[in-house]
Structure 1
Amino acid sequence: MSSTEINYRDFVTYVHDKFKEELTADEIEEILYLEESYNKDSPASLGKSLYLTRLVFLGTKRSGDKIDFDQKLHHGINAWIADNHKGKSTIFKIIKFALTGNDSIKKDIKSWIEEILLEFTIGKVTYTCYIDRTGRDKGSLYRFSIDQYNSYKSEFKLDTIEKKVEFSFNSRQDLEEKLQNFFFDQFSFYNLKYSQKSSVKDSFELNTSSLSWSTYFKSIYLESSNYEHLFFEQEKLGLQGKKIFEMVLGLPLTYPINMLKLQLDRVNESIGKVKLVDKSRMDTAKSSKDVLEKRYQEILEEQESVKKNLEINFEERPLIEEYSSLQEKVNQIRKNHRDLTELYQSEKSRLLSMEEEFCNLKSDRKKVDAEIIRLQKQELNMELYKQSQSFFTNLDIKTCPHCEIKVSEAKKEKEKDQHICSLCGEEPTEQKIEESEILQKSGQIQQEIKSHSARLKKIVENLGKKSLLIEEIKKNVEDYSVTISSIQSIDLYNKRLKEIEDEIARIGREREKYKNPLEKKELLIKEEAVVNFQLEEIKRNESSIVSVEIHSLNLKKAVLDYALYALERKRIVLNKDILSKLETLILKEVNVFGLKSITTVAISDKYELIFTQNDVQIGFNDLSEGEKLRAKLAFYLSLIQLDIEHSLGRHPRFLIFDSPGSEEMVPQHLKGLAEIFKDINDRFENELQIFVGTALREFSQITGKDRTFIKEEDEFVF
């Protein structure tokens, strides 16, 4: 490798010499190949600076007041002095938005702004960024001044000047992307990348992020919240602060080191994933080993069992005899139970039949009783009829009871012969029942009563007999039920029978198992050999289960580590001159800014500022708050001076200091800080541009009156 620059072919050969036993030159080149040149970076200045010349923005406040801000900007220091929360930071955030597309304007103020025009120059070209905020952000970057823009607009010629349009955009994201491409091209910046571990627990996944133009702009716009840090609050995330430093200086080999480190992170990610898979394989192998070892012990035990039991005599006769005896007992119990159950069921059926007959007899008795009562009533009626007829038949009517006319004997005779009433002369419609008929009918009724009475007597006798028989049958049923309940249970016998059956079956299986003991022994010996071989294989592979893939990845990691180490060493040599010049400039400025106790400034291999203060080495974060502000101001001013005095670095020579001095609580320190800015303006007025926004009236004399924009107490900037 050359001591002044890197030759890619020589570098590949250099790395291959280290790994030639394992990798070919082509394989090394495949690992080290990058899309762009290893010598992409150069610290040589491009001779360009960013110079803002005019800012215009229009809109309407919530109160209805119109906003018509139009301010020309100058070289050197431009200072805005106004009370806090009066719009200074908003001015800077509008500038930041117009230069980066990154909108950090407060939401309540953002809605006020309708149009933004920012005029600036890079080299000899003047640009105007126009942003229309009335809807979705849209506009263009023009290659002419705001005055020309207004002229074209008034003449309705904006749509006819395509050659003067650098680009147009239709959204904030579109603006951000196109501004990044524009400024990257102007100052030879590009996206440095870094990887971040996924936030998912136990995950090996890496997310790749990159530094954008908005991130690099933090080396231009120094916000009040970041004065405690050299770059910004989260500068250590992905080493962004270091990467900004590398980019602004254009340090050689920044690109290949960044890309190879990113590739190394990906390799480490893959190694982690593969190791996780290998761990799973090892766990599987261990599980298989446990199973095989268990089976191996079982084989040994079976072999011992075969050896001991080759002469075992299996005798199940006592069990068979016991089984037969128990079976007879069970059968006898079942027979007794069955016989008694049959008798019980027979008596139950007989009882039901008797009870049915008894009920029928009771019903018959009821019917016969009713019939006898009916006949007795009929007999009584006949007797009454007979008596009444006899009375009226023997009655001799002399005169009519109504008219007292005498009844003649002739009528009486006629009544007797012709049955015509001797009084009314009418023949009766009902036949008169003769006494003989009445006597005959009464005799029949008496005969029926006698017959029914005899039947009733017989029924009563049968009911008595049936009742006695029913009681007897009920007693028999109860006796049979008690006897059945007292029969011995066969559950215990059945349980024992099942045990005997199982034991006889087991003996049968054992007999079958040892039917051919020699054959069984041979099979166990063979299985023992197979299992033993498998266990030996697992033991041999336990220490070398790492896959071919992990070996390949580790080799690739080693190549990248070696290549990065070589590039880092080479870069130390290549950067020595520029870093030495920067260290000298920073030391000079911190001393000028009053930090006389700092005697040396060094930049470490990790691009960290190391100060020697009172013979003690400290870092930037070890400084006091006031010292940090001075050191940070000295650092950024030195970056610009590096370009001015040595034509090195790529800083645009433009800085914004938002509210510096808030840490300077002592009046004389505030005065000293104001003098620092005045000194900077006096020395570099035509070489750079710095915007300062502060509420400190001590800063009113740091620059010319035409570049000092002072607002009265409680007055807004716009």
Structure 2
Amino acid sequence: MAEEVALENRIAARAKVTVDDVRAVFESQGIPLGAPPARPRPLRIHRLRVAGVRTGALEPGPFNTTFRFGDGLTALVASNLRGKSSVLELVTWCLRGTPREKSGAIHWLCEVDLDATVAGQPMAFRLDLDNEEITSAVAFAGPDLAVLETLRAPDPAQGVLPLFRAASSESYAEQVQALMMKWMDLHPLVSAKQGTSAVAHGWPAYFGALYLPAARSPALLGDVLMSGLPGRLLQVFLDLPAAGVLTKVKTQAELMATARKRRQSAAKTAQEERTAQRQQTEEDLAAARARLEQLSAGSAGSDQESLADLAATTMRLATSWADSQQAWDDLMRVHRQAKGQRQRDEKLLNDVRESAIARQLFHGLDPTTCPRCDQDIAAERRQLEIDAHSCAVCARPVEGDDEDSEDVLAEAEERLQASTQAEQAARDALEQAETELNRLSGELNAAQEKLRRADAAARVPEYAKARDEVLRLEGALSVLPELPDSPDDPAEDLAIKVLRAGAKTLEDDHAKEADKLFADLNEEIADLGRKFGFAGLESVSIDRAAHLDVTSDGEHVRSFTDQVPGERLRLRIAVIVALLRVGAAHQVSTHPGLLLIDSPKAEEIQDVDIHLLLHELNAVAEANQLQVLVTTADFGLAHDVLPPDRITEAAEGRPLW
């Protein structure tokens, strides 16, 4: 808790805000303030079983094959296209949720079973397949691997409990990825996509650091370069302080700052466009007014009333008449409503005088349509309400005593009296409005007649055109008000300030912790690279972004991507083993310690080098709690390097499963 409070105080001091502000911002963004050290996350596979029916010319028929894997280095040996890579893909499917790529042989499979230990917990993954798709799957955990091996379904009696079930490939992928993130104590690697949205990379991104990509891949760690994932994987596997939190803080700060910048830019652009529109409209209006004034002056000597005065009078009367017409329409609507209410009150009074059921329902709702479907309530149902005492809405019987009949009659009479008075008042107001409307109509007709006579003059059409243009431009200007500046959002500004300060503070923590780790990491990578056969390797330098510079052959410095494929493979393996060594030395949770390598000899490595690489990798794996699964078509290579119990092989030309 002390570290968490210290982090809050440091962020607050850097952002020059209060600690409460820091807590509120991080809470509103759903980001924890710091994170505890990660739990150990070792991952081991123990048994893979595949069953199905092989078709084709090579050994057709049913098969049921089991592979067992121990610690250290295990080699899968078979001729090319005989199922070696498929084993890696099936392990990947069970643990990653989806295979990296499906081989043609997978369509033979009906069942796939994998037993593994995930962060110390024995787990079983059972897949039923049809036509290369999962039809049902279950993952369960138990007390030990010996019990799990005998089961394809949970058995609570033996302490074997389900973790999840799936009925499709998509469901299995989603659930196994969530399971592995939880048990391996990993968090999504969040990044901003073009500054507009956040993208979260989950377990498949982490698994890329377990199943090495082809040597020609430019990524040092993992199999994806985008969003700086190699560097983020490196930071997680070194357990740098709150590595997952830092990515979230940086991403959210970037998204919020980008959104604010775009909003301000859009507001500024809109202001500039509106200013230009108003300026052009004002210039056009000034020219139109000057033209209208010129035309008005040309007819000033006429004995007739000026066109401008006639037009103004006509416009004023037209506006007054329109207002009066609107007032009359409104009063007519009020009168109709008052009349309708008076008629309903008359009917209601008659009903309560004649019907006990009407008196009972007097104070209830009286809908004209069904409150659910808006259908009109039929007259037959209303008549049944009176005749048969059944509600016109729900048709249920209306029961009760008619004990207040006199009070109901009195209230109904009062309602009728009030509505009659309201109707009369509405009628009086309507008649008064009609009188005023008639008066204005007469004056407007007279003014329009005067204007029509004046328009007969030769210059009237031109004057009318100029007048219309002035009116049009005045109207256009009225709907183009000046736009205000984009309003500041204090909460947004505070959040961006706090998040940026948080990112810088966490970056400082990372840099301080990295100084302790990266010197050891560089030394380990260089030492392992030389052991793995990287001739001439002098030193390496790796940074938190997983950029690796290699010094070799007389202080010649080249980047990782400048290395030949064979050297890239050696360096990738060296980085992962170095992570395990440094993690153990500094007591931090690091790489899960499982490594899948497909056909390393194919990566432009000489025979003598591949012997050296595998020999050293075997020794390093046993010494550093690393489980490595390698495939090769070189039968002699495997037997030269490994004892028989570390080799799973098929006779030359025969399938591995």
1:78: which partner in 2? Answer: 74
Cα separation, 2, equivalents of 1:512 and 1:275: 43
Q: Is the 8 A contact 2:54 2:61 kept in 1?
A: yes
1:416-427 aligned at under 5 Å gives the runs: none
Work out whether 1:680 is the aligned partner of 2:617: yes
Secondary structure of 2:284's aligned partner: helix
- In the alignment, which of 599, 615, 632 is matched to residue 572 of structure 2? 632
- Give the residue type in structure 1 aligned to 2:529: V
C-alpha displacement of 1:232: 4.7
1:319-718 aligned at under 5 Å gives the runs: 505-507=457-459, 546-549=485-488, 556-613=495-552, 614-664=554-604, 669-685=606-622, 687-697=625-635, 699-700=637-638, 701-718=640-657
1:295: which partner in 2? Answer: 285
C-alpha displacement of 1:55: 1.6
Cα separation, 2, equivalents of 1:603 and 1:6: 32
Secondary structure of 2:208's aligned partner: helix
Q: Is the 8 A contact 1:15 1:28 kept in 2?
A: no
Cα separation, 2, equivalents of 1:566 and 1:645: 26
- Give the residue type in structure 1 aligned to 2:568: K
- In the alignment, which of 17, 34, 37 is matched to residue 39 of structure 1? 34
Cα separation, 2, equivalents of 1:10 and 1:672: 54
Relative to 1, partners in 2 of residues 1:511 and 1:104: Cα closer, same or farther, differing over 3 Å?
closer
Identity %: 17
C-alpha displacement of 1:300: 5.1
Secondary structure of 2:13's aligned partner: helix
Relative to 1, partners in 2 of residues 1:267 and 1:151: Cα closer, same or farther, differing over 3 Å?
closer
Work out whether 1:245 is the aligned partner of 2:237: no
Secondary structure of 1:220's aligned partner: coil
Moved more, 73-82 or 242-251: 242-251
Deviations 1:104-163 (A, max 9, x none): 46264232112222222346543332223256122232325565346567xxx9555373
Secondary structure of 1:133's aligned partner: strand
Work out whether 1:222 is the aligned partner of 2:159: no
Cα separation, 2, equivalents of 1:27 and 1:80: 58
Moved more, 569-578 or 550-559: 550-559
Relative to 1, partners in 2 of residues 1:692 and 1:151: Cα closer, same or farther, differing over 3 Å?
closer
C-alpha displacement of 1:642: 2.1
C-alpha displacement of 1:258: 1.2
1:15: which partner in 2? Answer: 14
- Give the residue type in structure 1 aligned to 2:458: R
Work out whether 1:91 is the aligned partner of 2:87: yes
Relative to 1, partners in 2 of residues 1:569 and 1:9: Cα closer, same or farther, differing over 3 Å?
closer
Q: Is the 8 A contact 2:12 2:498 kept in 1?
A: no
- In the alignment, which of 173, 178, 185 is matched to residue 188 of structure 1? 185
Cα separation, 2, equivalents of 1:609 and 1:120: 33
- Give the residue type in structure 2 aligned to 1:602: S
Secondary structure of 2:575's aligned partner: helix
1:30: which partner in 2? Answer: 24
Work out whether 1:137 is the aligned partner of 2:77: no
Cα separation, 1, equivalents of 2:42 and 2:463: 102
2:349: which partner in 1? Answer: none
C-alpha displacement of 1:41: 5.2
- Give the residue type in structure 2 aligned to 1:290: Q
Q: Is the 8 A contact 2:236 2:244 kept in 1?
A: no
Deviations 1:460-517 (A, max 9, x none): xxxxxxxxxxxxxxxxxxxxxxxxxxxxxxxxxxxxxxxxx9996134689999xxxx
Secondary structure of 1:116's aligned partner: strand
Deviations 1:555-613 (A, max 9, x none): 65454334323322332112221222212211211222333533332223533222233
If the length of structure 1 is used for normalisation, what is the TM-score? Answer: 0.60
C-alpha displacement of 1:48: 4.8
Cα separation, 1, equivalents of 2:129 and 2:459: 96
Cα separation, 1, equivalents of 2:520 and 2:542: 11
Structure 1, unpaired ranges of 5+: 198-203, 317-500, 514-519
Secondary structure of 1:676's aligned partner: helix
Cα separation, 1, equivalents of 2:41 and 2:191: 28
Tell me the number of residue pairs that the alignment of Structure 1 and Structure 2 aligns: 492
1:367: which partner in 2? Answer: none
Q: Is the 8 A contact 1:41 1:250 kept in 2?
A: no
Cα separation, 1, equivalents of 2:491 and 2:643: 66
Q: Is the 8 A contact 2:580 2:591 kept in 1?
A: yes
- In the alignment, which of 247, 252, 259 is matched to residue 270 of structure 1? 259
Cα separation, 1, equivalents of 2:19 and 2:290: 56
C-alpha displacement of 1:227: 4.6
Cα separation, 1, equivalents of 2:506 and 2:284: 56
Cα separation, 1, equivalents of 2:594 and 2:85: 17
Relative to 1, partners in 2 of residues 1:643 and 1:705: Cα closer, same or farther, differing over 3 Å?
farther
Cα separation, 2, equivalents of 1:696 and 1:227: 24
Q: Is the 8 A contact 1:620 1:628 kept in 2?
A: yes
2:45: which partner in 1? Answer: 52
Secondary structure of 2:49's aligned partner: strand
Secondary structure of 1:57's aligned partner: strand
Secondary structure of 1:655's aligned partner: strand
Q: Is the 8 A contact 1:194 1:209 kept in 2?
A: yes
2:353: which partner in 1? Answer: none
Relative to 1, partners in 2 of residues 1:698 and 1:209: Cα closer, same or farther, differing over 3 Å?
farther
Secondary structure of 1:42's aligned partner: coil
Deviations 1:249-286 (A, max 9, x none): 22213133211122123314523255335533432342
Secondary structure of 2:509's aligned partner: helix
Deviations 1:149-184 (A, max 9, x none): 46567xxx9555373224131233443344334333
Deviations 1:372-393 (A, max 9, x none): xxxxxxxxxxxxxxxxxxxxxx
Moved more, 654-663 or 87-96: 654-663
- In the alignment, which of 117, 122, 125 is matched to residue 126 of structure 1? 122
C-alpha displacement of 1:89: 0.8
- Give the residue type in structure 1 aligned to 2:71: H
Cα separation, 2, equivalents of 1:534 and 1:139: 65
Q: Is the 8 A contact 2:11 2:505 kept in 1?
A: no
Cα separation, 2, equivalents of 1:610 and 1:296: 70
Structure 2, unpaired ranges of 5+: 305-452
Cα separation, 1, equivalents of 2:21 and 2:458: 69
1:458: which partner in 2? Answer: none
Deviations 1:442-467 (A, max 9, x none): xxxxxxxxxxxxxxxxxxxxxxxxxx
1:103: which partner in 2? Answer: 99
C-alpha displacement of 1:10: 0.4
C-alpha displacement of 1:221: 1.0
Deviations 1:221-260 (A, max 9, x none): 1143765432355x22222222222222222131332111
